[in-house]
Amino acid sequence: MIEVRFHGRGGQGAVTAGELMVNAANYEGKWAQSFPFFGGERRGAPVMAFLRIDDDRIWLHQQIYEPDCCVVLDQGLVVSIPWSDGLKPGGIAVLNWRGGIDELDLPAGLSKIGVVNATKVSNKAFGERAFPITNTTMLGALSKTSGFVQLESLRKAIKDKWSGRIVESNIMAIEEAYKMTEVHEF
């Protein structure tokens, strides 16, 4: 079973990111579940969402304390919260970060990291906002870094959720992030 923990801010789409990953995994014949964890339910407050993907039915329904992968949607959270707490040895990180990985305090035992300036991609796809919507952008980066689901499955999930211009913007965001993500293996 693959367990992923998303860290974001209220309004950035961490919960929707998990839901889209569930649908993308289902297209690939996998079982998946996603659920949120809210502290203060307000826009901009730190939030978490959890995702499990497996080839078999998933019976476990609890928070993820030792994820295989951590995804951080907001670049401010990369340096302000302990996003890597509990990350399994050999784990994967996917970060919204505009700098180089040499500027990051990375956890020991990390096997792979994907870094993308998701804020820049989001601003291009959706326009500038106080809290950029980086969820689909980070899903493109997650797909490239981890291979948990394929880009085509994410496209299908987006087309099933939305219509019109919203679909076009979100597909542009995942594709651009997929191209721009720098993957480093250790």
Global pTM value: 0.95
**Splitting the chain (186 residues) into consecutive groups of 10 residues, what average pLDDT does each group show?**
95 94 98 86 82 97 96 96 97 97 94 98 91 93 98 98 96 98 97
CB of 100 within 8 A of CB of 117?
A: no
Specify the number of domains making up the chain.
1
- Residue 42 pLDDT: 66
CATH number where 16 lies: 3.40.920.10
SS3 state of residue 3: strand
Is residue 146 within 8 Å of 185, Cβ to Cβ? no
Show the domain range for 165: 2-185
